[in-house]
Structure 1
Amino acid sequence: MHSIKAFVVACAALFAAPAMAQDNHCDRACLGDLVTQYVDAMMAHDPSALPLAEDAEYTEGGRALPMGEGAWQSLTARGTFRHDYLDTTRQVAAAHVDFFEGETPVLISVALHVDDGEISGIETIVHRATPDSPFQPAVLDQPVRGMDAPVPEGMRQSREDMVDIAYRYAEGLRLGNFIDARVPFAPEAYRVENGVITAGEGCRFTPCDPARQRIMVHPGLIPSVVAVDEENGTVLLWMNFGFTDSYGPGNALVTMEAFKIWGGSIHSINAFFDFLPIGRGRGWPSEDPVPRLY
């Protein structure tokens, strides 16, 4: 009798373990709520309001800082712009969000790394659009066209295919030519960078067709996957553009750039970037490895 009872208890524990793990797995609603909590905590200048793991780490522009320092201390107002990229597979809640420090727009890319329902790390890039910034945000009063639109029925792609297309874009930047990199832009492809339309309808450059635009060669570009929102059809890449001697002495352009991908094409792109030391790495490993492109 005792052996039968012990067997039943053991079986119950065995079947209960996956259920408990499932309870600690953040679904889309949970991940989106963590982004909201992060925004609220930033405005309250109080990271303790977040469900942080005991050893949670914080980086700003690839540099490790104590939790609560950096932009945590200086923000004065919340803007209206926010796009979420929710990776339920890798448990990453990422977003582009705008804030202010006085009159200065502050564009923050954030990735919350989640383990067992707690935030184990906060990865950010913070750009202050000071009056001398080359890009002055002009269209952050509205969402990026198409970025949050539902993926049309039957047009959703696998995680692997979405990542492949996003990496083709990175390869186009490296080569200085999106055509040779076989980047599949949709006819209505639209790109916003730091709040400025740089491709598609309403862009400030010519030509506005992203496939035909002249691009600087970035031979040292390093890409890395931050998050893949498989339901919403978005891939968020971290990219250090490497040495080009064009972003200030010793600096490289570093971005978190999101791609809306469905039906085999890129439809919308949104990037928040900053200028950081060339050797500044991401500091967070990607579970979606970079392919050998050359």
Structure 2
Amino acid sequence: MVFSTLLVGAALASSVSAACTRAQLQDLTVAYIKAQTSGDPKQLPLAANVSYLENDAMLDISKGVLSQKVTVDFNRSLYDTTQCATFTELSAATNSHPYVIDTRILLNDEGKVATVQSLVADAGDWVFDAKSQLSWTQKEKWDTIPEGKRDTRAVLQAAGDLYLDSWTDSNVKVPYGTPCARLEGGSYTGSSNANANTCKMPKFPEDFKIKNRRYIIDEELGGLDIFNDFPFIDKQKPNGTASGNFIRVEGGMIRYIHETTICTTKGCGR
């Protein structure tokens, strides 16, 4: 109950934010990357009561991965001016301890960092391979969508929701693009066939719902990220382990999917 209350509190904190510009959020991302590479969370404009969650566990921000110096090989971000929030995927394959780190940052009314939520994946997490993840993500094109061709927030969120809903309901029609490729941990489903859709997920053998969905949406980049509780995959946490899906949508159709899933035991016990 206490854990649920903490998550609810974090969600409420994230929902109260002032208007902000894309430039301000871009500056925030630059500060976040500096904080991570220097191991100094104070590089960020932290609120006095900042909430820090790592793999869905509440931590002191000075004791989490953000307090470690991490070599960042590549990064890609979303800027959500509606929520005054950012999402950043960091690839740290050449770090002495390889990581893939997905981070949501949410600002309060004063423009201070109210909430930081990170998925910190490393050896033993679901199909983790930092070198492979880095290689594939660097090859992808996430260019700015021309203004007249941008999808609405509703379209972007719906595409992501349909993808997650389809995992246990094969009747759900997911707007997969052609081509479409999924980067699951370090495992890539891409194909040299320009007409291939390699994103479609097989139906899981159990019925479940993906709960606790938290969104960052960027219309200019055609991107969204959904932090969620992924049931089934981790045998030690059947009600859901910390997971995220970072998705690119072009013309209403899904082009890329990145999945990061945290395991309590090596390979989630599978």
* TM-score normalised per structure 2: 0.79
Aligned partners of 1:144 and 1:270 also within 8 Å:
no
Q: Counterpart in 2 of 1:181?
A: 172
Alpha-carbon displacement from aligned partner over 1:126-182 (angstroms, at most 9, x marks no partner):
11135x86332314146455552222563311111211111100101232x3xx210
- Secondary structure (helix, strand or coil) at the match of 1:268 reads strand
Q: Percent identity over the alignment?
A: 21
Match of 2:227 among 230, 238, 249: 238
Shift of residue 208, structure 1, vs aligned partner: 6.2
Deviates more, 1:223-232 or 1:96-105: 96-105
Which blocks of at least 5 consecutive residues in structure 1 are unaligned?
A: 1-23, 278-294
Deviates more, 1:108-117 or 1:137-146: 137-146
CA RMSD of aligned residues (A): 2.7
Against the structure 1 CA distance between its residues 264 and 63, is the aligned structure 2 distance closer, same or farther, given a 3 Å change threshold? same
Alpha-carbon displacement from aligned partner over 1:98-143 (angstroms, at most 9, x marks no partner):
236953311111011012321111111111135x863323141464
Q: Counterpart in 1 of 2:268?
A: none
- Secondary structure (helix, strand or coil) at the match of 2:134 reads coil
Aligned partners of 1:254 and 1:276 also within 8 Å:
no
Match of 1:92 among 70, 80, 85: 85
Q: Counterpart in 2 of 1:66?
A: 60
Q: Counterpart in 2 of 1:201?
A: 191
**In 2, Cα distance between the equivalents of 1:153 and 1:250?**
42
Equivalent pairs counted in the alignment come to 242
Match of 1:38 among 32, 40, 59: 32
**In 2, Cα distance between the equivalents of 1:78 and 1:174?**
38
- Secondary structure (helix, strand or coil) at the match of 1:250 reads coil
**In 1, Cα distance between the equivalents of 2:175 and 2:168?**
16
Shift of residue 255, structure 1, vs aligned partner: 1.7
Match of 2:202 among 214, 238, 249: 214
Against the structure 1 CA distance between its residues 208 and 99, is the aligned structure 2 distance closer, same or farther, given a 3 Å change threshold? same
Q: Counterpart in 1 of 2:243?
A: 255
**In 1, Cα distance between the equivalents of 2:62 and 2:93?**
17
**In 2, Cα distance between the equivalents of 1:146 and 1:152?**
18
Q: Counterpart in 2 of 1:109?
A: 102
Paired AA for residue 257 in structure 1 = N
- Secondary structure (helix, strand or coil) at the match of 1:34 reads helix
Q: Counterpart in 2 of 1:124?
A: 118
Where do residues 157-176 of structure 1 align in structure 2 (5 Å cutoff)? Answer: 157-175=151-169
Q: Counterpart in 1 of 2:10?
A: none
**In 2, Cα distance between the equivalents of 1:85 and 1:192?**
18
Aligned partners of 1:147 and 1:268 also within 8 Å:
no
* TM-score normalised per structure 1: 0.73
Alpha-carbon displacement from aligned partner over 1:201-260 (angstroms, at most 9, x marks no partner):
269xxx96323x524245142251320101111111112121x2x524335443221111
Aligned partners of 1:145 and 1:190 also within 8 Å:
no
Bigger Rg over Cα: 1
**In 1, Cα distance between the equivalents of 2:65 and 2:192?**
32
**In 2, Cα distance between the equivalents of 1:163 and 1:208?**
20
Aligned partners of 1:77 and 1:100 also within 8 Å:
no
Shift of residue 80, structure 1, vs aligned partner: 1.5
Q: Counterpart in 2 of 1:48?
A: 42
Aligned partners of 2:217 and 2:224 also within 8 Å:
yes
Paired AA for residue 135 in structure 1 = F
- Secondary structure (helix, strand or coil) at the match of 1:84 reads strand
Against the structure 1 CA distance between its residues 63 and 133, is the aligned structure 2 distance closer, same or farther, given a 3 Å change threshold? closer
Paired AA for residue 164 in structure 1 = A
